[in-house]
Amino acid sequence: MRAFDYHRPKSVKEAISILRKVENARPLAGGQSLIPSLKLRLSGPPALVDLGAIEEMRGIKVDGGALTVGALATHAEVAASKDVVHGIPALARLADGIGDRQVRNQGTIGGSLAHNDPAADYPAAVLGLGATVHTNKRAIAADKFFTGTFATALKPGEIITSVTFPLPKRAAYVKFRQPASRFALVGVFVSEGGGAVRVAVTGAGGCVFRQKAMEKRLAENFTPDAVARVKVAPDELNTDIHASAEYRAHLVGVAAQRAVETALAGK
Amino acid sequence: MNAPLIGQSVKRKEDQRFLIGSARFTDDITLQGQAHAHFLRSPHAHARIRSIDIERARSAPGVVAVYTGDDLAKAKVGGLPCGWLITGVDGKPMKEPPYPALAQGKVRYVGDRVAVVIAETLNQAKDAAELIEVDYEILPAVVKAADARKSGAPAVHDIAPDNTCYVWGLGDKAAVDTAFKSAHHVTTLEFINNRLIPNAIEPRAAVASYSRGDDAYTLYVTTQNPHVERLLMTAFVLGLPEHKVRVIAPDVGGGFGSKIYLYGEEVVLTWASRQVNRPVKWTAERIESFQSDAHGRDHVTKAELALDKNGKFLAMRVTTTANMGAYLSTFSTCIPTILYATLLAGQYTTPAIYCEVTAVFTHTAPVDALRGAGRPEATYVVERMVDTAARELGIDRVEIRRRNFIKTFPYQTPVALCYDTGDYEATLTDALKLADVAGFEARRKEAEKRGKLRGLGYSTYIEACGIAPSNVAGALGARAGLYEAGEVRVHPTGSVTVFTGSHQHGQGHETTFAQVVADRLGMPIENVDIVHGDTGRILFGMGTYGSRSIAVGGTAIMKALDKVIAKGKKIAAHLLEASESDIEYDRGTFTVAGTDKKKSIAEVAFAAYVPHNYPLDKLEPGLNESAFYDPTNFTFPAGSHICEVEIDPATGATRVVNFTAVDDFGKVINPMIVEGQVHGGVAHGIGQALLEGCVYDPQSGQLLTGTYMDYTMPRADDLPSFKVGMRETPCTHNPLGVKGCGEAGAIAAPAAVMNAVIDALAPMGIRDIEMPATAERVWRAIQSAKAKK
């Protein structure tokens, strides 16, 4: 790890002012991706701005048909929250399946979304539920937030403060894990609610994306069979040592069918 | 006298210090004035080093010294030696290219050591290493064994322009050819035995120090065999006298073979500790372990088995290309030859076998022994062939094994080994019962209802452990002995310290060996401590590898105990005023035959150290004896492993749902420890079959599985609860009747798992899937089988 300055602000305002002042300073949430990259000397920012002491970025609550999760909520907190378990059980289960116990106790939803790893789980939930990402500046719709591989709509000096999820009628997330990292080789989040169906796919491409052909079929007929008839094209999907694009395309179909089954079973 | 200890599941003595956090690993050693080393490694698989500019690094904050290959060459530091000379079918010795501790002129794999930076802190060393400017001329690389000899493949070493280290053969080629001509059926398969990365939990580490006062070195290092490390480093590399170098292997967290070898890092540290006149420490980071620990396996094989119409094996022909990597690691050359081809008879009476092995250089990390070392590769070939042949001939897979089992011993195989004893029928029968093979069909049907394909696979394996004897090995090219040394020191008040040349790095020797000694001396186990891993305290040793410790190291201790007891009889005879020939010994007590006159071992020891009433004219005081033991033969553990898998045909995902191992390790000293060794080995074997695989980019030679994000180690939730059984057919040529158990699981399991996978898929016409059988590979096999129909 290269040397860096360390800041631990107590408010969003203070954090932003440091981030604006120190060029290339990096915000630090749970650090589950950033710290390893520092240790491997893959990055070496001049300063870290640890968000951990900012109380206003914490907390989980349900209000007016929507669930709001503070950016600093850990995966373990989301998994255990009664509001999440009752409001969006699929989200609780997704959080409970991220990484391992240590990662879940340290990693945060805000950190995961800002990092936007193409194989992360949370982006599938945010896009698959049509959530809204709140920052210190604005509210960003999920459809506009994820812009590419490790890329988001966040501007320099902008940090996520919370995420708001509409409560769906039903939803489910099914993933096949990459066997070594246990990130999603392919993960599919399916939801139905507010008259719309969403199908979000993570792990398969360079960035989380919506499978609109499946959404259309499911809107007509929310059954596994409806999904089974959609042919997923491997073009633009990832090929690496763990899976070819062709296999990932196949798994998108299997995961989507199983997610619909699970959502219907209401388990 | 205490209750017998051999055969008891005594809790591990060493666990106290591991559980309370007081174990001492190499990285826990901190010496006064210690500096830290960081190695700059090659980012390229193959490149010419045009120049290295170390000036900026040398003047960076905290830097003590920076050295490159040129510095070592100027200081006449030798290259790393290879411990086994293989002679080819052409009668010529293998090609033995130089293996410098720091690269000279060229780098030959990603992770090859280029320079070392020594600084006050590790971070300063790393910062400075970023300032070293190496001008590389990148050259094309060859990484796959199958590509190494293709025309136009870039040469790894000038002395081997065709990348061939040797072409070696074993067996009667003419007899095999004849048998094939008259065969009723020939089964042919081609296999890749996947390359593995060893992944001991403790990375390699070293702390070297030099004392000006007595012109002597001390090296703390993660090694499985400290005396061999010292021998190789002093005699072959640094040209130092052995009495000036002490090598200490403190607690070591796993080896699996990867810590047998002499590596460049410890050579550089030992040399540099004198140059900078300070202790120097280095601990590998996990990425360095992936890149630079010696890897294992990596064979490409074509095998043919000739059978008669009754399924009797007539002959086997095996052609293998083995990847040596970029340099010859210490025992690399004997693994795909002496420890591989010799095992191709398996448990069967195949009368004629011929095996030809071509060892090749590639631009990858050196390959050497890894848990099983040659024997897993051989077992995989034999057991996959047996299952395949049975299916092709329509003979039950258990039945074909029974028809071919060796039943009388000793048995001379056509591939050099002579099995002393075994009972293959017995382990198979036990395993069939323990695995409930009779209930498999019902389980398969139940799985089918859930949409899953269930398969069952067998592996009736044999291994050769305790490689020996030294003179035979020497004739086959070994450049070291294969004996072991032990010393038993009975203290004046009757407690005992045992010194062994074996080294434990997870195996539980401190308990197992103490059980042997305490049992023989009739003492509570608390009275016996085992000392290992220090050339300054232990007379000599060849260390721990190849499941040899109890069979060879344990026997050396038994021989020393015999001497203790023989001397004790003389002392007891004197004390009891009897003739030595009338003294009987039984577990701690010397008795005058036919009387109740007796002396305990503690009383005898006290008399030996306080020799007031003692035959000083005939006998030296003291009770401290040592022995060297060179075995007359290998030991031959064998057994039957049975695996059941379930496959999700929609995704290809494969799970091991049942795994049964019934092993014959001869006499078992501590069943709990042995069961633990079986569990670890089976996990390793399942890992090879379904999960693990080292992948280099075939063009660039970059290591693509260089972290745990990409290299799949087996985890607890990948494995079922194992069913383990044991049979004891005692080894006939060592006093304990022991055979060794550390590698069996890794040797037997891959074939059992893959035979189960193929069993599940055979109805679709699938004959083979390459290891690791990842979900995608299985899914693809299913897709192409469907497409054919």
Joined tokens for residue B73 = 């060459």
Predicted pLDDT of residue A64: 85
Residues from A contacting B (CB-CB < 8 Å) are: 1-3, 40-41, 176, 179-181, 183, 241-244, 247, 250-251, 254
Q: B123 and A41 in contact by Cβ < 8 A?
A: no
Residue of A nearest to B779 (CA): A247
Query: Are A159 and A185 within 8 A, CB to CB?
Result: no
Top residue of B126, B712, B777 to mutate, by most chain A CBs within 10 Å, is B712
CB-based burial label for B702 (10 Å; 0-12, 13-18, 19+): middle
What is the spatial distance between Cα B345 and Cα B347, in angstroms, rounded to a whole number?
Answer: 6
Query: Are B97 and B325 within 8 A, CB to CB?
Result: no
Top residue of A100, A101, A239, A241 to mutate, by most chain B CBs within 10 Å, is A241
CA distance A95 to chain B (A): 19
What is the spatial distance between Cα B95 and Cα B337, in angstroms, rounded to a whole number?
Answer: 15
> Per-residue pLDDT for A79 more than 60?
yes
CA distance A178 to chain B (A): 8
Q: B709 and A241 in contact by Cβ < 8 A?
A: no
Residue in A180, A183, A250 closest to B711 by CB: A180
What is the spatial distance between Cα B387 and Cα B346, in angstroms, rounded to a whole number?
Answer: 13
Q: A179 and B712 in contact by Cβ < 8 A?
A: yes
DSSP H helices, A88-141, are 89-96, 101-106, 109-115, 122-128
DSSP state of A108: B
Which chain A positions have a beta carbon within 8 Å of B713's beta carbon? 180
Joined tokens for residue B330 = 């210490």
Query: Are A42 and A180 within 8 A, CB to CB?
Result: no
Which chain A positions have a beta carbon within 8 Å of B708's beta carbon? 180-181
User: Any bridge partners for residue B247, and if so which?
Assistant: B219
Q: Is the pTM higher than 0.95?
A: yes
Which chain A positions have a beta carbon within 8 Å of B776's beta carbon? 242-244, 247
Query: φ, ψ for residue B731 (rounded to 5)?
Result: -60, 140
Q: B651 and A2 in contact by Cβ < 8 A?
A: no
Q: A241 and B705 in contact by Cβ < 8 A?
A: yes
Which chain B positions have a beta carbon within 8 Å of A242's beta carbon? 710, 774, 776
* Mean pLDDT in consecutive groups of 10 residues from the start of chain B, 789 residues: 86 96 97 98 98 98 98 97 96 97 98 98 97 98 97 97 98 98 97 97 98 97 97 95 97 97 98 98 97 98 98 98 98 97 98 98 98 97 98 98 98 96 98 98 98 98 92 90 96 96 96 98 96 97 94 97 98 97 96 97 97 96 98 97 98 98 98 98 98 97 97 97 97 96 97 98 97 98 94
Beta strands in B7-79 (DSSP E): 35-41, 47-53, 63-68
Q: B708 and A180 in contact by Cβ < 8 A?
A: yes
CA distance B713 to chain A (A): 7
N- to C-terminal Cα distance for chain A?
45
DSSP H helices, B121-263, are 122-129, 173-181, 226-231
Percent of chain B with pLDDT over 70: 100
Residue of B nearest to A181 (CA): B709
- Who's near B568: CB < 8 A, 6+ residues apart? B585, B590, B601, B604, B605, B623
Residue bearing tokens 């075939």: B698
Residue in A1, A241, A254 closest to B695 by CB: A241
What is the spatial distance between Cα A119 and Cα A117, in angstroms, rounded to a whole number?
Answer: 5
Which chain B positions have a beta carbon within 8 Å of A176's beta carbon? 651, 653, 775
Residue in A2, A3, A176 closest to B651 by CB: A176
What is the spatial distance between Cα B279 and Cα B36, in angstroms, rounded to a whole number?
Answer: 8
CA distance A146 to chain B (A): 23
Q: A179 and B774 in contact by Cβ < 8 A?
A: yes
Predicted pLDDT of residue A266: 82
Query: φ, ψ for residue B653 (rounded to 5)?
Result: -60, 130
Which chain B positions have a beta carbon within 8 Å of A179's beta carbon? 691, 712, 774-775
Which chain B positions have a beta carbon within 8 Å of A247's beta carbon? 775-776, 779-780
SS3 A156: coil
> Per-residue pLDDT for A267 more than 60?
no
Which chain A positions have a beta carbon within 8 Å of B126's beta carbon? 41
Which chain A positions have a beta carbon within 8 Å of B650's beta carbon? 254
Inter-chain Cβ pairs, chain A and chain B, closer than 8 A: 42
Joined tokens for residue B455 = 């398969």
Q: Give ipTM to 2 decimals.
A: 0.96
N- to C-terminal Cα distance for chain B?
73
Q: A254 and B774 in contact by Cβ < 8 A?
A: no
Predicted pLDDT of residue B677: 97
- Who's near B96: CB < 8 A, 6+ residues apart? B82, B85, B159, B328
Which chain A positions have a beta carbon within 8 Å of B705's beta carbon? 180, 241
Which chain B positions have a beta carbon within 8 Å of A251's beta carbon? 651
Predicted pLDDT of residue A195: 87
Predicted pLDDT of residue B4: 86
- Torsional sign, CA B727, B728, B731, B734: positive
SS3 B111: coil
Residue of B nearest to A239 (CA): B776
pLDDT bin (cut points 50, 70, 90) of residue A194 is: confident
Residue in A1, A2, A180 closest to B712 by CB: A180
Joined tokens for residue B9 = 């599941």
